Amino acid sequence: MPLDPFFAERLRVHRRYLIGKALASARTRLTRLWSRIRGDASAPARTPPGTGTGAAGQRRTPRERHRREAIAWDRKELATVGTPGPVLRTVEHEVQVPGYPSVRVRIYYPDGGEGTLVPGCLTLFGGAFRIGGIDYPTTDAANRRRAAAARVAMVAVDYALAPEHRFPTQVEQAHAVLVWLYRNAVELGVDPDRIGVAGTSAGASIAAALTLANRDRTGLPIRTQVLEVPVTDLTGRHIDLRASRALGIPRFIAMRELRSVARTYLARPSDARDPLASPLLAPSLAGLPEAVILTAEYDPLRGDGAAYAARLREEGVEASAVQYLGVIHDTPTFTGVLSSARRWERDVVSALARLHDG
């Protein structure tokens, strides 16, 4: 199906961004090579133009600047193409993670029902493992909308970002929150018999890994897993470059961007074969919770989602996989302007609402 016309201008901007990023990286490598040739590689590095300064005159790193720009862009996205979330009661907690940094958790409660137990869903945001967070406006709004519409307490995990904190930090934080949630469910107003997990993109990778860690370590009764545009194989073997080619993005640029995600998240290339980094590569997927998987036609990760659903089914796990036609990776953001995004949201809400069954 042709790409939805809504994405035409966004695609042009995205292509310019990727090409610019590739050219900047090439210039940096050439500069370093020239410095080595001249024998002055030990000379102090120049601060990149536009790096700017932070509080107390401290210079911001390019990574810090990128994250500030990302959250500003996200705020604009919510205002122009998204849908604000309703005002709900929220409560924050700090969960300790043995051997890793503690993690902040925010619970979004549906309106009413105080004093009764509601289903809960542990949810993990997207952002290529290196940006994003529960304070990002579109993430916060989505959690509010879904909590209210599905009448489920959304338990949002503000996991640590790479490369400051690499794999398996994020999976260990998610597992610690899951254990904490079950142990304190009644006190938190959550029904321990009706808990699911969900995630988007990188967050979906962590969510899928969490179900494996839980199966093998703790055996807590997760009812469902809802995975939106998941990355399930960081070796890259299931990347579908036909989607990028259809968008006019050159193969080398698409692969460079996708490989950079793995390099940022993983401490060593060999970690990509660890099932907690690449759940699709687990020796067995038997005994995992039922799965609802949503992918997009113009997303190179569509192959990851389809392959993961197929493996789950082969090993006796109930799994559905839906591909939304004519749309891209971050379609769920555009609920304010795109009917397919609103349908996507209704389908996620429907999957979450099934936690009420039984």
Catalytic residues: 201, 299, 329
Contacts of 157 (CB under 8 A, 6+ apart): 103, 105, 122, 123, 124, 134, 173, 174, 177
Residue 60 and residue 136: Cα distance in Å, rounded? 20
Return d(Cα 132, Cα 310) in angstroms, integer. Answer: 29
SS3 at position 149:
helix
Residue 6 has a CB neighbour count (10 Å cut-off) of 19
Rounded CA-CA distance 76/115 in Å is: 37
Nearest one of 351, 242, 341 to 299, comparing CA atoms: 242
Tell me how far CA of residue 117 lies from CA of 110, 192, 256, 303, in angstroms.
11, 9, 47, 38
Write the CA distances from 190 to 88, 122, 124, 294, integer angstroms.
16, 11, 18, 26
Instruction: Enter the tokens of residue 323.
Output: 């591909």
The closest alpha carbon to 168, from 271, 313, 61, belongs to: 271
